[in-house]
Structures are given as C-alpha cells and as structure tokens.
Copies of this chain bind each other. A is one copy, B any other.
Amino acid sequence: MSGNTFGKLFTVTTFGESHGLALGCIVDGCPPGLSLSEEDLQHDLDRRKPGQSRYTTQRREADQVKILSGVFEGKTTGTPIGLLIENTDQRSKDYSTIKDQYRPAHADYPYMQKYGVRDYRGGGRSSARETAMRVAAGAIAKKYLKETLGIEVKGYLSQLGPIKIETVDWEEIHNNPFFCPDASKVAEMEAYMQALNKEGNSVGAKIAVTATGMPPGLGEPIFDRLDADLAHALMSINAVKGVEIGAGFECVEQKGTEHRDEITPQGFLSNHAGGVLGGISTGQDLIASLALKPTSSLHLPGRSVNVRGEPVEVVTKGRHDPCVGIRATPIAEAMMALVIMDHLLRHRGQNGGLQHDIPVIPAAAPGASTQA
C-alpha cells in the first residue's frame, strides 16, 4: 500500500532521486524459472535513455542496470529481484537559484506543501528519471508475457504537437528517434523540433500502446478493472494528463450501433472497446492512448513565486527534453506490461484450478480492424 509500489501480486517498488546516489527497485512476485539477464533489461533502458538523438536531452546517463538478487544461474528464483542503477552524471552545480523558487508547472510547490522539505537537485524524486526503474521492471514482465503466452506489448508516438501520424508501420518505429510509425511524418517532426528548440519552447505529444496476443479473461469486474488499472498505470507516468482505452473520447459522439463491436464466429468485427469489456479482456488487442503535456522546464522566462511568496521570474537552464513524449513510449509499454502481468497472476490465483471449456472468439475476423 505504499505509494511507491505498483501492482498487487507482481509488484514494483522504486526509490531514488534524480541526483542521488542511485535509483533502484524491487520486483516482487516474479514467477520462478524465467531466464533473465541484465541484457534483457538493458535493451528497453537504452530505448528510454536520454542523449539518443538531438531531440532529447543531452544529459549522459549510462543507465546501466545491475541485478542484485532473485536470479540464480540465469533464472529467476521467485524471490524478490533487486535492481540498481547508479547515478553517474550528477554534475555538481549551483542550485542556489532553484532552491527557493517554485518552477511553474513543476512539482516544487506541492512537494513543499506536502513534506515541508524537498530535494531540489534536478527535481529530486519528481524527476522523470525515476521511470528508468519502471522500464527495467517492465522488461521482466514483457519477457515473461512473451515467452509464456505470446503477448507482445509495443507502442508508438501517434502525435507530436500538431503533427498526427496517418499510418502505423510497426517496422518504421525503430528507424527514427521519435518512435514514429509513419515514415512520411518524420521529416516534418524533425523540422518542428528544430524550430521548437530554437524558440526555447516545448510541446506535448500523444502515445499509443497495444498488447497483442491477449488471452480473454484477464481483469476484474469492479474497481480493479483491467482498463482502470491501465488508466492508473499510464496516468502515473510523469506529464501524462489523459488516458483513453479503445475509442476513448470518440465514444462520446458515437451511437450504440456504431460503437458496439459485433461478433461473428470468425471473430470480432471491430475493436472500439480496445480489448476490454466490463473490466475484463476479450482477447482482442488491448489498446490505450495517452496525452503528455509539454515539458515545463523552459528557457523562456515565466512568472512564479519563491518559498516566501514573493514574485520571481523563473528561467530553467540546463539540458531538458523539449518534448517529454518522445522518450515516453518505452515507459508506457512498461506500465502496460506490468498491468497485464499483475492481472495474469491474479487471474491464475483465483481461477487457476478451473479448466474452462469455452470456445474462444478470434480477436479479429478476417478483414476486421484491430484498431480502436
């Protein structure tokens, strides 16, 4: 029940500040017998880490993860997996300006009101650097889901500021620094980001995440619905302000005959539900979307107050992502994987002993769209 723990059976508890000695987490409840090495985690960590392109912060964070426990002779043992990333790029700098100021749209002020104290170095605990541990933990869930059930979780950037993608080519995502699945939009995004950098401003973004190969039956009917837990997971990512499942806000204007996903023996005919009905997976692709606000750290001055309530002008120096959404895809994937993993174990706990002999409806009838 601690606020730094996610999950109920497959749990992830993180610690660490942006400029502290290290980040770490404990993954508890992992099934035994899963092959696991540091390389398995490093892949997604490298996808998230900064400095991969000119469009993200130029901070150097090696983000080398160490597995401290829970793996023996290359396999998980069922005991807690301790993970650690030492902080290597803690530039000693002068924080005297920021120390007393509340940066607009940052967590400085609410932290002070909550705790009466805050670690102001690089945002402390509120830094998105914490998400590195989520990515590492999520990589364990991803591996288990893929190897055991064939479930794959993958995401992409669906909108960068005003630029919306038009097609999804899963192969294209790895070819550009934006996780953009539409090759025709990449040049436009590059130009947009260069102009934005020159302006000293930032912009929002939209990410889509999908799980394919889902079995039906995962989730819970009431509070811990699969979609509610997904909303929790995705909204807990820094800068996220909105979450949609399936058709999302489009359903407001849909009529019932349009929204309902009809079914034939060959499969579902559409997927406006985004793979969840009544809080439980249908076996269709699980589909979520999230909105990330523009980075709050800007070179352009903004009005604020200091800890004494006096007016100040805040200018954030340093190396910041002009669009935090660009690096958010692996984080969103990790959070979705954690939710599915947790619900898989929960489902197995309650229903494990039963053999349901119920015909399965294919995820999509031939020719049907799997998109929301």
Contact = CB atoms under 8 A, between A and B. Distances in A.
Contact of A259 (B11, B29, B215, B293): B293
Contact of A114 (B125, B202, B219): B219
Given A3-B28, A3-B220, A279-B107, A69 B236 contact: no
Given A3-B222, A9-B1, A269-B303, A78 B241 contact: no
Given A241-B249, A252-B292, A221 B351 contact: no
A345 B236 CA distance: 20
Interface in A108-146: 109-119, 124-126, 130
A15 B199 CA distance: 47
Interface stretch (A16-24, A42-50, A173-181, A183-191): A16-24
B265 A305 contact: yes
Contact of A298 (B201, B256, B264): B256
A230 B350 CA distance: 21
Those 5 A-B pairs whose CB atoms lie nearest each other, nearest first: A107-B278, A349-B349, A3-B220, A110-B280, A202-B256
Interface string A74-90: 01011111101000000
A274 interface: yes
A352 interface: yes
Given A243-B235, A263-B102, A294-B251, A277 B107 contact: yes
B125 A222 contact: yes
A246 B125 CA distance: 22
B77 A115 contact: yes
Interface in A16-44: 16-17, 20-24, 26, 28-33
A350 B229 contact: no
A217 to B, nearest CB: 4
| Identical copies of this chain, number | 4
A198 B348 CA distance: 45
A233 to B, nearest CB: 8
Contacts of A309: 265, 359, 361
21 contacts: A1-B1, A16-B80, A17-B72, A30-B350, A31-B350, A72-B124, A77-B117, A102-B263, A105-B259, A107-B279, A107-B280, A110-B281, A112-B356, A161-B255, A223-B232, A242-B242, A242-B251, A258-B294, A346-B349, A348-B353, A352-B352
Contacts of A245: 235, 241-242
A70 interface: yes
A312 to B, nearest CB: 9
Given A77-B117, A265-B305, A15 B9 contact: no
A327 interface: no
B228 A110 contact: no
Contacts of A205: 252
Contact of A291 (B72, B236, B251, B360): B251
